[in-house]
Amino acid sequence: EAQAEARVLMLSANNILSPAHGAPLATPTQDMVLGLYYLTYAEDDVTELDPAELDKAPHPFRTAQEAELAYERGLVKLQDYAEYRQAGQEHFLTTVGRIIFNDRIQRGLREALGDDFDPSGYEFVNRPLKKRDINDMVGGLVDEYGAPAMSQVLDAFKDLGFHYASLAGITVSKNNVVPPPEKEEIIERIDAQTAQIQTEFDEGWHTAEERHRQVTDKWNEATEQVGQAMEENLHQLNPIFMMANSGARGSFKQIRQLAGMRGLMANPKGEIIERPIKSNFIEGLSVGEYFISTHGARKGLADTALRTADSGYLTRRLVDVAQDVIVRTEDCKTKEFIEMPILDVAGEVNANLLGRLAAKKFETKRGRQLLKRNQLITQEELDDIATAYEGDEQATVPVRSAFKCEAERGVCRSCYGVSPATGSMVQIGDSIGTIAAQSIGEPGTQLTMRTFHTGGVAGQDITQGLPRVVELFEARKPKGLAQMSEVAGKVSVEQSEKSATVTVLESNGEETSYSFPPRTRLLVEKGDKVEVGDQLNEGSLYPADVLAIRGRTAIEQYLVAEVQKVYTAQGVEINDKHIEIIVRQMLRKVEIETKGSTDLLPGQLEDIHELRQINKQIKADGGTPAKATEKILGITKASLATKSFLSAASFQETTKVLTDAALEGKRDRLVGLKENVIIGKLIPAATGLKRYRSITIEPTEPFTPAEETVLLEDDELSSLVSDGNGAGADSFGEGFAQELEGISKEIDG
């Protein structure tokens, strides 16, 4: 079993897709990207060039082998234009390098797929490949041919990349760092403009804050202009330019510091120092400039150390809260669903719809059926939906979600849908909770640590990055709290030096007032109409308030959107399903208000599914069901509120958890992973589930019986079972000899 696990589950070729977002994880990086970029580079877009108008006639090639041979003999360069004249296909203009690249990828596909590979279905790549293009290409090939076949093709990418990066002879030298000639003129112009701003300030035209903002804006503009001039000044085949442009390593921001100007720096408090660093690293910094630079470098190192520890702790809490979420049933048959928008925040088609099951029949506006209940949404269906609802930004699709799953324990297959790690439906026994926790926690170190301050406005501290993710998952009252209207009605606003007051007049004549500090940025104006739960001022909402005022579905959507906002800002992709699993765990408990005919106590926290079962039984017996209000718990509290005292004790507050469990006489049902690990049992996931224990392994090759059954004569049989001293079957005892004789007679008879 362990060998099978290593061969099937752990083998790198079977782990090409990321469990976090489903896109390929094993993609070329660094030197490989640089080599592939160099191989496919061309000065102009060849698709728009006319071969007849070129200064030098393009080299004609019928096969890739011809092109490779010509290159090996030094007759052509990789970037030279070539006319590709494949037999039976349309001739087109490309480069020598691109012919070699496409041929090698096609050979890799042919080796991997054998006769299943159709060359006519392969699209020739006729553009320079940057890192993003390579990732998109790998993703497209995975969708087309499947992940297992791609492992061999990825080797082709790797070999090509390393080979041509070596042949390119790309190195970083001092001469490649070329400062732009326009730099002096730009700095002189901005110097004059900042001097003018200072003069206006001295004459009383600006406040100190306005002067500071205008000066910093001017120097940011100068840094941008110098950087732009530097980029335009560098040759496209300059090694440093190629490294950044291809996405292999570094960025133009770093090259700007080498060849442009470093620009403005911040002090340890996070305030921008007005004096810019006009030098770059190739010219060298003055003593003053070097001193200003040290702030940022030290803060960066301290931040990284803190971030790593905080991110690890967040992952631990997430794993703890979700470790018992395992796919346990086929379909919970729920009629509940969530409405998911067809377009995401950026206006693109929402990729989170992929791999989900439709909750009910979904039609176009004219009544054409697009989806039926429980139909899987694939790329084909998604494209069809996007086309049908083009131009409608508010359109949504009803889909099954872990939020609405009614499975008593864990989640059902239909509510979860496709596993991003495999691209196929999730299997019963998959530990989706742990995968969700690690998918969210793992990119945590990439998130920034800063708390962003908006220009001295009271109560406007907006937490970003990792602290914001922690704030959301712990369901804490956020910094810069925003107020929601608890009633619907018409707004009136009163501003004074000490405060701003927003009053909402209801239709029945009642007034509800909300006070804010002066200079608070309000989102409503006099005469506006507000609904229950509308946000009145800028800031973040308190999750407990959202649940109380707007309800369960609203808080589910709010938490998913807010967590995604933080990760998207850092360019990190995470599938919504993972966040849904964690938020579902935060909303599992309800607080008992009235006990009815049950044994529950008012104020007690009870699992929402267990309360449903208790109430169902009480109703059947003719009693009064208990009433409860929904609660949201932070991940730490939710971990400690689990039914398993072993899991809670291994998390934190061990003594308290164990003494409480002993006082209450708790019993651990060993449902999750941790409690089973603690007592040394197999985890109840994957092959550890009871349903998989009785499975017998079938041989890969069927057993073939002998063609002819040959019966042995008595004396031959006797000699076969003889002990070697001449004693035949009798030596085994009288009973055995008689049994053999009986069998022999049966065969003869």
Cα atoms in the Cβ-side hemisphere of radius 13 Å centred on 542: 14
623 pLDDT more than 80: yes
Displacement of CA 136 from its chain's centroid (Å)? 16
Q: How far is CA 9 from CA 6, 15, 42, in A?
A: 6, 8, 41
- Span 54-78, average pLDDT: 82
Distance CA 461, CA 392 (A): 35
Nearest by Cα to 476 from 486, 489, 463, 487: 463
Residue reference for tokens 């702030």? 295
DSSP run (H or E) holding 143: helix 131-145
Cα atoms in the Cβ-side hemisphere of radius 13 Å centred on 13: 12
pLDDT at position 735: 58
pLDDT at position 458: 36
578 pLDDT more than 90: yes
Q: How far is CA 513 from CA 200, 268, 491, in A?
A: 43, 40, 10
The most confident of 177-181, 295-299, 631-635, by mean pLDDT: 631-635
Q: Which residue has the higher pLDDT, 162 or 457?
A: 162
- Span 73-81, average pLDDT: 83
- pLDDT tier for residue 583 given thresholds of 50, 70 and 90: very high
Query: Is the sign of the CA dihedral 47, 50, 53, 58 positive or negative?
Result: positive
Neighbours of 11 (CB within 10 A): 12
Comparing 30-34, 67-71, 160-164, which segment has the lowest mean pLDDT?
A: 67-71
- pLDDT tier for residue 744 given thresholds of 50, 70 and 90: low
| Single-letter code of the amino acid located at 173 | S
Decide the pairing of beta strands 362-363 and 369-371: antiparallel
Residues facing 511 on adjacent strands? 505
pLDDT at position 456: 34
Asked whether the beta carbons of 86 and 80 are under 8 A apart, the reply is no
Residue reference for tokens 């509510």? 415
If phi over 0 gives left and psi between -120 and 50 gives alpha, with beta otherwise, what is residue 294? alpha
In the three-class reduction of DSSP (H, G, I as helix; E, B as strand; rest coil), residue 688 is classed as helix
| Single-letter code of the amino acid located at 234 | L
Distance CA 676, CA 684 (A): 8
Distance CA 655, CA 660 (A): 9
Asked whether the beta carbons of 359 and 399 are under 8 A apart, the reply is yes
Distance CA 483, CA 473 (A): 20
Neighbours of 200 (CB within 10 A): 14
Q: What is the pLDDT of residues 101-115, one digit of tens each?
A: 888 888 888 888 888
DSSP run (H or E) holding 64: helix 64-72
Q: What is the pLDDT of residues 232-263, one digit of tens each?
A: 888 888 888 888 888 888 888 888 888 888 88
Q: How far is CA 490 from CA 504, 523, 527, 537, in A?
A: 5, 14, 6, 16
- pLDDT tier for residue 581 given thresholds of 50, 70 and 90: very high
189 pLDDT more than 60: yes
pLDDT at position 457: 36
Starting at the edge strand found earlier in the chain, the sheet holding 627-630 runs 605-607, 589-594, 627-630
Distance CA 400, CA 415 (A): 5
- To the nearest whole percent, how much of the chain has pLDDT over 70? 90
- pLDDT tier for residue 434 given thresholds of 50, 70 and 90: very high
Q: DSSP state, 709? A: P
Asked whether the beta carbons of 132 and 104 are under 8 A apart, the reply is no
Distance CA 531, CA 504 (A): 10
Distance CA 667, CA 394 (A): 49
Q: What is the pLDDT of residues 654-668, one digit of tens each?
A: 999 899 999 988 888
Q: What is the pLDDT of residues 509-554, one digit of tens each?
A: 788 888 888 777 888 888 888 888 888 888 888 899 899 888 889 9
Cα atoms in the Cβ-side hemisphere of radius 13 Å centred on 567: 24
Q: What is the pLDDT of residues 481-513, one digit of tens each?
A: 888 888 888 888 888 778 888 888 888 878 888
Phi, psi of 489 (to 5 degrees): 165, -165
Comparing 169-173, 333-337, 648-652, 688-692, which segment has the lowest mean pLDDT?
A: 688-692
- pLDDT tier for residue 449 given thresholds of 50, 70 and 90: low
3-state SS string over 420-486?
A: CCCCCECCCCCCHHHHHHHHHHHHHHHCCCCEEECCCCCCCEEECHHHHHHHHHCCCCCCCECCECC
Asked whether the beta carbons of 280 and 259 are under 8 A apart, the reply is yes
Residues facing 267 on adjacent strands? none
Distance CA 253, CA 105 (A): 33
The answer to whether the predicted template modeling score (pTM) of the entire model surpasses 0.85 is: no
589 pLDDT more than 80: yes
Q: Within 146-264, where are the H helices?
A: 147-168, 183-202, 208-233, 239-246, 252-259
Comparing 355-369, 466-480, 720-734, which segment has the lowest mean pLDDT?
A: 720-734
- pLDDT tier for residue 436 given thresholds of 50, 70 and 90: very high
Rg for the chain, CA atoms, rounded: 35
- Span 1-8, average pLDDT: 76
711 pLDDT more than 70: no
Distance CA 585, CA 248 (A): 40
Q: Which residue has the higher pLDDT, 88 or 253?
A: 253
Residue reference for tokens 């993972």? 578
Token readout for 400 is 């099954």
What DSSP string describes 34-80? Answer: HHHHHHH--SS-GGG--GGGSSSPPEEESSHHHHHHHHHTTSS-TTS
Q: What is the pLDDT of residues 362-415, one digit of tens each?
A: 888 888 888 888 888 888 888 888 888 887 778 888 899 999 888 888 899 999
Domains, the chain, ordered by start: 11-168 (1.10.274.100), 174-285 (1.10.132.30), 327-430 (3.90.105.10), 585-693 (1.10.150.390), 714-748 (no CATH)
723 pLDDT more than 70: no
pLDDT at position 231: 86
Distance CA 310, CA 467 (A): 9
Distance CA 450, CA 337 (A): 37
pLDDT at position 26: 82
pLDDT at position 61: 83
pLDDT at position 453: 37
In the three-class reduction of DSSP (H, G, I as helix; E, B as strand; rest coil), residue 553 is classed as helix
- Span 347-366, average pLDDT: 85
Starting at the edge strand found earlier in the chain, the sheet holding 529-530 runs 511-516, 500-505, 489-495, 529-530
Q: DSSP state, 713? A: P
Q: Where are the beta strands (DSSP E) in 460-574?
A: 461-463, 489-495, 500-505, 511-516, 529-530
What's the chain's average pLDDT? 82
Nearest by Cα to 340 from 539, 583, 550, 575: 575
